[in-house]
Amino acid sequence: MSEKEEMSEGGAKRTEGVREIDSTREIESLDHAGKYITQLDKAQYVLVSEKIEQLNITPSQLPILMGLYNEDGVSQQHLADLYDLNKSVVTKTIDKLAGKGFIYRSVDPDDRRSNLIYLTEKGERFRVILISILEEKEDAMFRGISREERAEFKRLLKKTLRHVREELSG
């Protein structure tokens, strides 16, 4: 065994902090939170997309609109940071939303190299509808779950996300 490899308690070989799985049976029996997070993400995507696509909005455009409903007149970088999105993806999404008449760009008076993104009247008219759709989705997702459990679930998700980000940043 090399100096970067060691044996764990269960007899599995560890390499630089990564546990290698001994058998296919062990892989099949793993019950990772990531599996459920992925399934939940896919399910909520379907719940939302069925309703918003009738409004000529795609699920990928929703975070930009929601970010602007929270704070209108922000930079593209702010919107990218808010949802951990790639800046080029945000730019393309903004282009599409502007083309549909939901938002517009205006030169930032404090930094002429930057644009601020604003809702149009059309974009503003959709605020109540989109928020209602998201609230319905939340209610469907959390049916039979108390408000306290819902709050605890969100708290734990935020905590987990914070830990993953810390791990990724080094």
pLDDT at 95 over 90: yes
Residue 59 maps to a domain: no
Q: Is the pTM of this model over 0.85?
A: no
* Phi, psi of 21, deg, nearest 5: -80, 135
Closest CA to 25 of 10, 39, 36: 10
Write down the pLDDT at residue 29: 58
Residue 152 maps to a domain: no
pLDDT at 167 over 50: yes
Residue 65 maps to a domain: no
Q: Are residues 22 and 12 in contact, defined by beta-carbon separation less than 8 angstroms?
A: yes
Number of structural domains the chain divides into:
1
Closest CA to 99 of 127, 123, 125: 123
For 12, the domain range is: 1-30
Lowest mean pLDDT among 28-37, 66-75, 90-99, 120-129: 28-37
Closest CA to 72 of 48, 96, 100, 103: 103
Closest CA to 57 of 117, 3, 125: 125
Residue 126 maps to a domain: no
Residue 97 maps to a domain: no
Q: How confident is the model at residue 112 (pLDDT cuts 50, 70, 90)?
A: confident
Residue 12 maps to a domain: yes
Residue 60 maps to a domain: no
Write down the pLDDT at residue 33: 86
Residue range 32-82, pLDDT digits in tens: 888 888 999 898 888 899 889 899 999 999 999 999 999 999 999 999 999
Residue 2 maps to a domain: yes
